[in-house]
Structure 1
Amino acid sequence: MNEDSSVEKCGKNEDGRQCNPTFPCDVEIDETRIRGDAIGDTLYSERWVIKILMKLVKHRDEEWSDDFETELCLLWDMTMDADVVNLLMDHKFLSLSSQIIKTTSIPRLT
């Protein structure tokens, strides 16, 4: 490492004036880590969507709650984004939802 690069990393340019420090080389790795389980270019969590789908599959009519309905409404709102729809299609949502419609007695799910 030469003297110029160490000065630049300290936040000063060659004139001795303050400047922004250089961007670290491994920023792409950090970006991937920061994105976590985001769906496509959204900030929606893939893990959350999968969790809701699993709750829906395991759901029994007597377990209906306002919280569960709210989660389903949030998922519905998220489908305005194409990346979320693609994720749902990857997880066979049409088949899943048609099976639920056939077997449930809850009017809010049909």
Structure 2
Amino acid sequence: MRKHINKSRTYQKISEDQKQKLLKLVCFFGFKIKDAAKQLNIKYAAAKTYMIFHRNNVMMSKHSINSEQECQIAPLSLKKCKLTIISKIGGDVVKSLQFEYPMIKQE
């Protein structure tokens, strides 16, 4: 009778510092998870698991849309038009720009 040999992977705990560096490399610098894990000397499986956790829990909790329609088209009116563009990476606001169009003159 054969003995069942349990071959399982050993898990690696990622420190908070390494997690922050991993997020920075993947989210801000555009590294692939595999390349970032190799650079930080952590296992790919552990890095991928953390990135999936971060996307599903942290980023989705920061995801918010103020209206049901993401983009809207409206005809020009005689009123001033204000527009705010907000750029987010990983749910965190990176930049916010406001535009104001002047009133349209009717001829």
Q: Which has the higher contact order (CA 8 A, sep 6+)?
A: 2
Q: Which has the higher helix share?
A: 1
Q: Which has the higher strand share?
A: 2
TM-score by length of 1: 0.27
